[in-house]
Amino acid sequence: MWLLAMAAVAVDAVAQHADLAALRRIAEGDGAGLAELYDRHGRASFSLALRIVRDQSEAEEVVQDVFVQAWRQAARYESTRGPVVAWLLMMTRSRSIDRLRHRRGLPPLDGDGESVVRNLPDATIPFDWQLLGAEQVQAVRTALDDLPLVQRTAIELAFYEGLTHAEVAARLEQPLGTVKTRIRLGLLRLRAAIGEALA
């Protein structure tokens, strides 16, 4: 769902310019540029990671990995691919899902109740939603609610629970091609609806 919220955020041109300047400095080996980028987007990255992995120490490790990757790849960033914050959050999502997949390959925890605590849902308002204004939040919620149930379910499983398309297909007992089509069409409808609502 964080991705849908991001789609509604109109990235301020000044903030994007500052992010690009920080990335240029990072590419030149300036650690202060990385600190500046972390100060602006570290909390959003942590919030997203925590929402996916549901473990504070793992979320912290994900954020560290993301900013190390930003340090290494700053020179290769292309502004035509979108805002810097979106790039960082996509890396955060990918790293978080990688951790979930790794965790699934491990044997279950002992029956000491730790697994129950770890799987409790996070009731806090995600940081990315806190960044949105009331009008933007309502536009995203309305657009998501207006999707056909099959599209909304597939999108929520993929983006909120971090499942791959194949895992969504298995969970919904639907062909992989059908799931991919539902997610693609749903995202296109969301983009159009949010754009109209915020225009």
Q: Read off the pTM.
A: 0.53
pLDDT tens, 23-42? 899 999 989 999 999 999 99
Domains of the chain: 1-130 (1.10.1740.10), 133-199 (1.10.10.10)
C-alpha R_g of the chain: 18
Quick one: pLDDT at residue 132? 54
Quick one: pLDDT at residue 67? 94
Whole-number Å distance between alpha carbons of 4 and 120 = 23
Quick one: pLDDT at residue 177? 92
pLDDT top residue among 163 and 56 = 56
Cα–Cα distances (Å) from 53 to 3, 107, 136, in that order, read 16, 17, 26
